Amino acid sequence: MTLTIDINDSVADKILYFLDHFKDDVRVVDNSPMVEYDYEKNYPKSVVVSSVEEVRRRVYEAEQRIEEGEYISENEYERQMDKFFKEELGIVR
């Protein structure tokens, strides 16, 4: 059997399509109501930028560090990004 899903479909459409075509193979284990997750209140505070001036200040500081020779290797950058995604977002890259 082949399952083709258009990436332009919404997540809900994909789930409904899947359930409709595989309803004999799917069993609902927990039918409690879904809990809404408030992304605006639960994002990492370290990624918040409050103003254009703040962005300009951060860019200037980053450029100054680079000019002073303070930068990291690509391997270290990847390690730091892996750690950030795992700890802040719960995603393993």
Check whether 8 has a pLDDT greater than 70: no
Q: Which percentage of the chain shows pLDDT scores above 70? A: 65
Tokens of 75: 């391997």
- CA 33 vs CA 28, 30, 36, 62: distances in Å: 12, 9, 9, 46
Average pLDDT, the chain: 76
What is the C-alpha to C-alpha distance for residues 13 and 6, in angstroms, rounded to an integer? 10
Q: Structure pTM?
A: 0.32
Altogether, the residues listed in the chain come to a count of 93
From the list 57, 86, 61, 56, the residue with the least C-alpha distance to 71 is 61
- Mean pLDDT throughout 69-74? 84
Residue 90 pLDDT greater than 60, yes or no: yes
Question: How many distinct helices (H) and strands (E) make up the chain?
Answer: 3, 0
